[in-house]
Structure 1
Amino acid sequence: MTDRALVVVRAGALSTVQDRGRPGHAHLGVPRSGALDIPAAALVNRLVGNAPEAAVLETTVNGCALRPRSTVTVAVGGAPCPVTVDGRPVAWGAPVRVPAGALLDVGTVVSGVRAYVAVSGGITVDPVLGSRSTDLLSGLGPAPLTNGTVLPLGNPMGLHAHVDVAPQPAPPAELVLRVTPGPRDDWFTPDAFRTFTSRTYRVSPASNRIGLRTEGPALGRALPGELPSEGMVLGAVQVPPDGRPVVFLADHPTTGGYPVIAVVRTQDLQAAAQAAPGTPVRFIKTRHH
């Protein structure tokens, strides 16, 4: 058992390969994709000695279990969760040595939504358009993990970090999203925009990598009908016919016909990756994106 690979023993609810994504292809209808919590992915890569752009695993709620075919260094970050090697507890948020053939189990999150697993050498599935990321909307990149999937690993680049624990932000108790109005805020009544920026919404269980859906007061329209499809950007807040805002995340469609009332600041979207269903959401109006 000396080859550089991981065997997926338990795939979990939704575990995917992610890196920094494939920006720059929206004109081809290809979303950006990539890790939803970019800082968490970069940190676990640093902990195991990988470059920041190395591919990692992104898990959803209940983690995954992996068996390396050679001895590796791993780090688990993002949403806090229990981590074991052959049933023995090991550190979360720090580099851990996993012997060849041992079972690494990333458990159910204590808070937040998505955990990130970096392995020394990075996951080296074939890139598509310059990225190894799984894109749930377009189907580009490797399929979501299933039990028995074998993931190739690269050769370690350098020494892992020597730390007891690396600070990471806690998942949000309240998600505060700063927004710039427009481009279609004029499609809504003045009362609707005041409601949007003054009332509290909650994260819907229907949220996914495509968009963070919300529950709360519906936003009334000043103009009926729908737009011709137009370009959509990361962080666009689209309002479908039910009136509840949807914040577009990494796997968002590149075009859409529902009006966009505002756009969220990109730096606020990392926290959205870890906002569990039921988390309060507030949209705060700012002047500049």
Structure 2
Amino acid sequence: MTLLTIVESGPLTTVQDLGRPGFAHIGVPRSGALDRSALRLANRLVGNSEADAALEITVGGFEARTNADVWVAVTGAWCPISVGGEQIDPNTPVRARAGQTIRVDAAVGGLRAYLSVRGGIDATAVLGSRSRDTLSGLGPEPLAPGDELGVGREPDAPIPALEISPWSPPSDERVEVPVVLGPRQEWFEDAEIEAFLGTVWALDAASNRVGARLVGDPVTRRTDAELPSEGMVAGAIQIPPSGLPTVLLADHPVTGGYPVIGIVSSAAIDAFAQLRPGQKLTFRHA
């Protein structure tokens, strides 16, 4: 049964779950929601499994019409949200009635919101996941007006009576990101590594689900030699010839030839999901 009809899809709205781990050996990254903690919370709020598929809404400008009564919740970026024209709070389960519209307007804090529906978004799974991989093109196409979405089986769990969840929007202040140096630390002088850690970086507007591009004082490598391609993981910080770091995110390529100066944790990747273009960040030793 069709549950949602998309009216407006905004700049980028995709179906995402917790991804498809275990396929890097055939060139497929994990993908999945960029802010996994927000996805998990959105699913818990409506009684779903944390791994169920939901909608990742980038920036906002999203609207859908319901074709049946359903519980919904929106987490992640702080956006004006309405159901049937009535404003609702983020991080709160709400019953949407058949024929009502669900609207997620432009984010005022953070960048990516997660809309869950009770039962989970029903889409064709590829390699065990319903996630859209924007680099390889695996998974459901990004949503467009007129698209129709179904819902999965009614979960056994009830709508929770109380969910302890944060009520403040993602911060637009400078973010401090812990990093483990290496594995190509030897490609950089000690002074350059300290400069990298001491620089206040800003998120480039060209960033996406593949990688967070940073602008600031370039990092100088010891050599202009080429590094043979090697395996890459989400959170790896590559330093290309420009000296401007790229932090690999969910849809990253599984191999790369730029030296990796350090790696950030999976929790830090959640934070990168909510950084806005121009927002400042620094790195520190984990």
- What's the TM-score once normalised by structure 2's chain length? 0.95
Write 1 or 2 for the structure with the bigger share of strand. 2
Could you give the per-residue CA deviations for residues 75-101 of structure 1, whole angstroms, max 9, x where no partner exists? 001011111123221222101111111
Task: Give 1:169 deviation, angstroms.
Answer: 6.0
Q: Which secondary structure state, in structure 1, belongs to the residue aligned with residue 195 of structure 2?
A: helix
Q: Is the 8 A contact 1:13 1:60 kept in 2?
A: yes
Flag structure 2 segments of 5+ consecutive residues without an equivalent.
none
* Distance in 1 separating the partners of 2:181 and 2:20: 27
Q: Is the 8 A contact 2:17 2:33 kept in 1?
A: yes
Partner in structure 1 of residue 250 of structure 2: 250
Q: How does 1:17-166 map to 2 (within 5 A)?
A: 17-157=15-155, 158-163=157-162, 166=165
Q: Is the 8 A contact 1:128 1:140 kept in 2?
A: yes
Q: Is the 8 A contact 2:2 2:148 kept in 1?
A: no
Give the percent of matched residue pairs that are identical in Structure 1 and Structure 2: 47
Could you give the per-residue CA deviations for residues 190-241 of structure 1, whole angstroms, max 9, x where no partner exists? 2221111111111111111111111101000101132111100110000112
1:233 to 1:165, Cα distance in 2 relative to 1, 3 A: closer
Could you give the per-residue CA deviations for residues 63-85 of structure 1, whole angstroms, max 9, x where no partner exists? 41111211100000101111112
Aligned residues: 284
* Distance in 2 separating the partners of 1:261 and 1:282: 14
1:266 to 1:168, Cα distance in 2 relative to 1, 3 A: farther
Task: Give 1:42 deviation, angstroms.
Answer: 0.6
Q: Which secondary structure state, in structure 2, belongs to the residue aligned with residue 42 of structure 1?
A: helix
Q: Is the 8 A contact 1:71 1:97 kept in 2?
A: yes
1:250 to 1:53, Cα distance in 2 relative to 1, 3 A: same
Q: Which amino acid aligns with 2:133?
A: D
Task: Give 1:156 deviation, angstroms.
Answer: 2.1
Q: Which secondary structure state, in structure 1, belongs to the residue aligned with residue 267 of structure 2?
A: helix
Q: Which amino acid aligns with 1:261?
A: I
1:168 to 1:129, Cα distance in 2 relative to 1, 3 A: farther
Partner in structure 1 of residue 277 of structure 2: 277
Q: Is the 8 A contact 1:40 1:168 kept in 2?
A: no
* Distance in 2 separating the partners of 1:82 and 1:189: 47
Task: Give 1:281 deviation, angstroms.
Answer: 1.0
* Distance in 1 separating the partners of 2:162 and 2:102: 20
Q: Which amino acid aligns with 1:119?
A: V
* Distance in 2 separating the partners of 1:43 and 1:23: 20
Q: Which amino acid aligns with 1:139?
A: G
Q: Which secondary structure state, in structure 1, belongs to the residue aligned with residue 73 of structure 2?
A: strand
Q: Is the 8 A contact 2:45 2:163 kept in 1?
A: no
Partner in structure 2 of residue 208 of structure 1: 208
Partner in structure 1 of residue 198 of structure 2: 198
Q: Is the 8 A contact 1:113 1:273 kept in 2?
A: yes
* Distance in 1 separating the partners of 2:11 and 2:212: 17
* Distance in 1 separating the partners of 2:50 and 2:92: 16
Task: Give 1:162 deviation, angstroms.
Answer: 2.6
Q: Which amino acid aligns with 1:257?
A: G
Q: How does 1:219-230 map to 2 (within 5 A)?
A: 219-230=219-230
Could you give the per-residue CA deviations for residues 103-155 of structure 1, whole angstroms, max 9, x where no partner exists? 11011111100000000110010110010000001110001111111111113
* Distance in 1 separating the partners of 2:255 and 2:167: 34
- What's the TM-score once normalised by structure 1's chain length? 0.94
* Distance in 2 separating the partners of 1:148 and 1:88: 23
* Distance in 2 separating the partners of 1:95 and 1:109: 19
Could you tell which deviates more after superposition, 70-79 or 163-172? 163-172
Q: Is the 8 A contact 1:175 1:272 kept in 2?
A: no
* Distance in 2 separating the partners of 1:246 and 1:159: 42
Partner in structure 1 of residue 174 of structure 2: 174
Q: Which secondary structure state, in structure 2, belongs to the residue aligned with residue 217 of structure 1?
A: coil
